[in-house]
A and B are shown apart, each in its own frame.
Chain A
């Protein structure tokens, strides 16, 4: 266990180092920087030079990178070109909203994926299977921003009742119910996207599990089919689902960009987009690294999940 973690973390650090270098180099190669955005173009050349110096933009790229890296290792991801706040603080402010949405989408996905996947596997090519297949196909093929707009149109504008976006109602003070109501539509969009792959994996794994000898034994003992399905078969079949949750984690934590944008959800995805539009490179850099980090964390959590779910791996 321990050697595994060490090699895993080392590889993660190498990846992040290489990637940060590449991104930094690219930024250095491109003309135009924060100066063009913030500094009053009517300023004198001497004043401009002073600004460049203050922002550290006058130095060669590798020096800037070295300085930046040194700061990162001390937990300082730099300062946003746009707001002047520490990047880490901007990320911290937004993390909560993204985490809430991600968790809610994950829970809803699992609530629907598990019974649907099990039902589909218990009778392959039956009605449930076809329905699950169709829902999965639809979820994977629908552009999330279109679905988001459609849901806003139907449930917020036409039927009313649900808010068009945001974390809570303007001014706040709506309490938990108000926040939950704001969570509904973005959760639906994210869950529908994840539902398909999740059901598919579970179905395939369940079908394989149901062919095993211990299932036949359980059935022969006269156990109720419900318990055989949900206790004996599902436990093995959950392993690929764990993998998928690990793989989807980066999507949820950073890739749900468009959903956050359309629903005006103040999370990390929206922060990334704002940074891209504002050419706020310290924030963009940090978000690339954070997203890379979530991929690695997802992978590590997946492996740990295996340990919990599968005693065979635990022993070896």
Chain B
């Protein structure tokens, strides 16, 4: 057991963090087992349309008679997939070029830092919308765009972390003891950077799930008939649906909220455990 694991274990003993972890784990399980659990085909158009919740349809049916509960289960796959893939992609890019920048502070660092500034100089949602207007909407576009636009935050964290560590007495001492560059990277640089990446990853997943939901809600993300929590709320823009069929939009909205809040609670716990300076 490394000394780093101690605060982590303490953080994960808090009830809110335990509850969030259980919720997210069951969500992963549900999304994997969706075909087994779902009582109906999520895209199957049934005979009861606009039906309120009943024993037959636990969460009712939507405007064209699809089972809301089944669509909710399948929607979790979209949210989790977009969250993990896009944020995984940009953490990879950010970490990789962060290491490059820290390794060559005179040459590559300048270019890469300017590039990061350039990407950060525009609100990501506006860039995503502009691109979607060009290439059309779709889940692939959402994943790629989130993945390609998110890296500067990770890049900055990794780069800053590594540049600070390069000058630290810890690394100096290791070098004086004759440690190889590889050994220093493995023992001293990587553990510090991984913690920061983990925190960035967690919060990133929460943000990505929210962004996907917004885009799909607007009709610019995941396209029907594929169910996503965001596009399940699209119909609620009509006042009639909003007023008379709350089952249609309440459940997916609550699921997004619950998922993102759980991710944020775990992110806060990770940040506190891995970076003692952040908790005052």
B278 to chain A, nearest CB (A): 8
Set of chain A residues within 8 Å of B264, measured between Cβ atoms:
137, 140-141
Taking CB atoms, residues of chain A closer than 8 Å to B261 are 137-138, 141
- Whether the Cβ atoms of B129 and A23 lie closer than 8 Å is no
- Give the size category of B's interface with A: 35 or more
Can you name the residue of chain A whose Cβ is closest to the Cβ of B121?
A15
Segment 105-143 of A: residues with Cβ below 8 Å from B: 124, 137-138, 140-143
A interface, size bucket: 35 or more
How many contacts between A and B, using CB within 8 angstroms? 114
Q: Which of B257, B265, B280 is close to A146, meaning CB atoms less than 8 Å apart? A: B257
Q: Are A27 and B265 in touch, CB under 8 angstroms?
A: no
Contacts of B185 in A (CB 8 A): none
Are A262 and B237 within 8 A (Cβ)? yes
- Evaluate contact between B214 and A258: CB separation under 8 angstroms: yes
Given A143-B253, A157-B242, the answer on whether A276 and B118 have CB atoms closer than 8 Å is no
Judged by a CB distance under 8 angstroms, whether B220 is at the interface is yes
Q: Shortest beta-carbon distance, B251 to chain A, in Å?
A: 11
The verdict on B233 contacting chain A, using a C-beta distance below 8 Å, is yes
Chain B contacts for A19, CB-based, 8 A: 118, 121-122
Digit string of B238-280 for contact with A (CB within 8 Å is 1, else 0)? 0100110010010001001100110011001000000000001
Any A CB within 8 A of the CB of B117: yes
Whether A153 contacts B129 by the Cβ 8 Å rule is no
B residues in contact with A146, CB < 8 Å = 233, 249, 253, 256-257
The verdict on B130 contacting chain A, using a C-beta distance below 8 Å, is: yes
Among residues 204 to 232 in chain A, which have CB atoms less than 8 Å away from a CB atom of chain B?
204, 207-208
Kindly list chain A residues whose C-beta atoms are within 8 Å of the C-beta of B126: 254-255, 272, 287-288, 291
Task: Enumerate chain B residues within 8 angstroms of A251, measured Cβ to Cβ.
Answer: 123
A153-169 CB contact bits vs B (8 Å, 1 = yes)?
A: 10001000000100000
Q: Cβ of B123 and Cβ of A143 under 8 Å apart? A: no
B123 & A27 in contact (Cβ 8 Å cutoff): no
A253-282: which residues lie under 8 A (CB-CB) from chain B? 254-255, 257-258, 261-262, 272-273, 275-276, 279, 281
Does B125 belong to the interface (CB within 8 Å)? yes
Cα A150 to Cα B257 in complex, Å, equals 12
A288 to B130, CA, bound (A): 7
**Residue A284, interface by CB 8 Å:** yes
Q: Cβ of B217 and Cβ of A145 under 8 Å apart?
A: yes
CA distance A140 to B265 in the complex (A): 11
Of B130, B135, B242, B257, which one neighbours A23 at CB under 8 angstroms?
A: B130
1/0 contact string of A235-247 vs chain B (CB within 8 Å): 0000000000000
8 contacts between A and B (CB under 8 A): A19-B122, A30-B134, A137-B268, A208-B280, A276-B133, A279-B133, A284-B129, A284-B133
Show the binding face of B for A, using Cβ within 8 Å: 117-118, 120-123, 125-127, 129-135, 206, 210, 213-214, 217-218, 220, 230, 233, 236-237, 239, 242-243, 246, 249, 253, 256-257, 260-261, 264-265, 268, 280
